[in-house]
Structure 1
Amino acid sequence: MAGCIFCNIARGEEPMTTILYEDEKFVSFRDQRPGAPHHYLVVPKMHVGNPSTLTNKDIPLVESLAEVGNKVLQEQGGNMEDKRLGFHWPPFNTVDHLCLHVLSPTSQMSLLSSTIYSTTFWFMTVEKLLEKLEAMPADQ
């Protein structure tokens, strides 16, 4: 999508962004304003809207994002026991492109970061999003 910063990053058009992981479907890189010592973003290469646009058909996509997020966190030496993976919910997302936040260790997050990335109406963990998608009717 033209003008989408995450699409530009996925196409390698943002030279200031170091890609930590890339495969045929996803890219991962460091968050510009980290909320934890390890804070990575995982985005689909294909433009996908924010998490509120997802349906139960997108469950495999969310699961794959989480798999990549865990892989990147482990490769980067993050704490696999003290982590949080989730999505900002509109209107609290800054880019309208699906983006998984991977944070670790959560015990070292500041009070502000703990609030921004806590399970609330503005941030949804992978588990909560999967529950929401699984509860949707099958035709959605």
Structure 2
Amino acid sequence: MSDCIFCKIAAGEMGTEFIYEDDQVVAFRDINPVAPVHILVIPKKHIPSANELTEADNQLIGHIFQVIKKLAQKENLNQGYRIVNNCGREGGQTVHHLHFHLLGGRNLQWPPG
């Protein structure tokens, strides 16, 4: 999708420094972190939100969670971390490209807000 900022980032068009990349996903630090560790993990394939996932995406989603696990280990989030996916306007989604926030490095409270 030509006007999607995350598609541009995933394609390497924005000069974003990736902390992880493979043929399916990229990961990079959030520019407005809400925790000491705040990493975004996005698929290279444009999927607008979790509502548009199909069974054909099951392997991709499993892969994303394995990448998140590796990143959490690399970031020494041994005491725990949070994975967040916002879906839709009322769910707080502001970029309409499926993405997951890996948050950690401090005690995360509940409810989040």
Shorter chain as denominator, the TM-score bin is 0.7 to 0.9
Structure 1-normalised TM-score? Answer: 0.71
Q: 2:86 aligns with which of 82, 85, 88?
A: 88
Superposed CA deviations along residues 72-129 of structure 1, whole A, max 9, x for unmatched, are 2222x2313310112011112111101011111350x5x7x9625xxxxxxxxxxxxx
Q: Which residue of 1 aligns with 2:76?
A: 78
Separation in 2, partners of 1:22, 1:63: 16
Amino acid at match of 1:82: G
- Cα deviation for residue 64 of structure 1 reads 1.1
Give matches, 1:95-110, under 5 Å. 95-107=95-107, 109=108
Matching residue's letter, 1:36: A
Unpaired segments ≥5 residues, structure 1: 117-140
Unaligned runs of 5+ in 2: none
Aligned-pair RMSD on alpha carbons?
2.0
**How many residue pairs were aligned?**
111
Q: Which has the higher helix share?
A: 1
Identity of aligned residues (%): 36
Q: Which residue pairs with 1:8 in the alignment?
A: 8
Residue 52 (structure 1) aligns with: 51
Higher gyration radius (CA): 1
